Amino acid sequence: GPAHQDNALRLFGAREEDVRVTFYRDHAGWCPYCQKLWIMLEEKQIPYRVEKINMRSYGDKPKAFLDKIPSGLLPVVEIDGNMITESLVIMQILEREFPERPTLPEDKFEAANVLLKLERQLFSDWCGLVFRPSMPGPLGARAGFEKTLDKVDEALGSTEGPWFLGGESPSIVDFQYVSHVERMNASVLYWKGLQMRGTKRWANIERWLLAFEARPTYQATKSDYYTHIMDIPPQYGPGYADKNAAVDEAVAVIGGEKSWRLPVSLSADGLEPLPESMNRGEEDAKHEAAYKLIANSANIVKFACRGMGEPGRKHSEAKSVRKCLAYLRDRVGVPRDMSYPAAMQLRAHL
């Protein structure tokens, strides 16, 4: 079947005893470096096992993992008993060990290196924009970030098709970019009021994102804006919010004040676009949310009760229930718990 958050073993027609790869990734789907590898493993259809490990930002790591990887850093891939760290190194080794369905053509090495350096520049400019107070003017962080986005858009526009290196499918370069661009979409909108999606200025980036969103290999890994706004600060530090109308609107929509309402309104041209390729309809989203609640109901009840703090019977049970439901609503994560449409239905109903 297609990729899914709950997969523990992916065979792609192989025998289980022949699986050479174990993929260690984070439980919550927060880690952008894990996401890159997850997409690559699925695109190349490399048989693999999954071991989920906490990130330090939300939990302790098991001793058995720390015995193998003292740093505790994710992601890790184990190939034939050898533990490999650093996502880009892992991608290169996977490409060498599993040459079927190539993701880095030999004649594209030089172009790939140039684009990978540009990705690091984009990441650096994003950090300078989101995690520091804004400086206005042509030398400010926003201007620098937008200028680098222009370069990325130009690079995407220089090839036939949507991908950085051309071809019919994404490459290592595309994997390297997409997980952080996904987080940039959410964070620069929420904290700076900058909309990257659906603009003429970055039309090639939009085409590239839509191409990814049409692939089941990416759909399974994709988060939503709210989850990213919640998961970025524990990993990178707090974002610095600008004071403008665009930020106010983004905070109201992403934070739920204007969007966690019935009927839920999701569209391809919304502030957080839901492409047609990922929109299975309202009823499907409701059924998914209900199934996820029912399937894990015992643990969900215990988790929601954390909203009341210390154990003990309260005088006002109605207020207690409201607090517990709000606690649960605010912690529904994508893709960990369910898809974006299903999460929006559950948040709105709660």
Q: Which CATH class is domain 9-97?
A: alpha beta
* Of 30, 328, 38, nearest in space to 183 by CA: 30
Architecture of domain 104-279: Up-down Bundle (1.20)
- Cα torsion 267, 269, 272, 276: sign: positive
What is the per-residue pLDDT across 132-152, written as a single tens digit (0 to 9) for each? 987 777 668 999 999 999 999
Whether residue 75 is preceded by a cis peptide bond, meaning omega within 30 degrees of 0, is: yes
Which pair of structure tokens corresponds to residue 17? 């005893």
pLDDT at 314: 54
CA dihedral of residues 229, 74, 25, 38 (deg, nearest 10): 80
Contact 98, 77 (CB under 8 A): no
Which pair of structure tokens corresponds to residue 307? 């909203």
Whether residue 263 is preceded by a cis peptide bond, meaning omega within 30 degrees of 0, is: yes
* Residues of the chain falling short of pLDDT 70: 138-139, 310-316
285-314 b/e with 16+ CB inside 10 Å = b?
bbebbeebbeeeeeeeeeebbebbeeeeee
Q: How far apart are CA 82 and CA 98, in angstroms?
A: 15
pLDDT at 317: 72
pLDDT at 136: 72
* Of 333, 172, 66, nearest in space to 74 by CA: 66
What are the sequence ranges of the domains in the chain? 9-97, 104-279, 280-349
What is the per-residue pLDDT across 60-97, written as a single tens digit (0 to 9) for each? 999 999 999 999 999 999 999 999 999 999 999 999 99
pLDDT at 313: 55
Bridge partners for 49 per DSSP: 9, 22
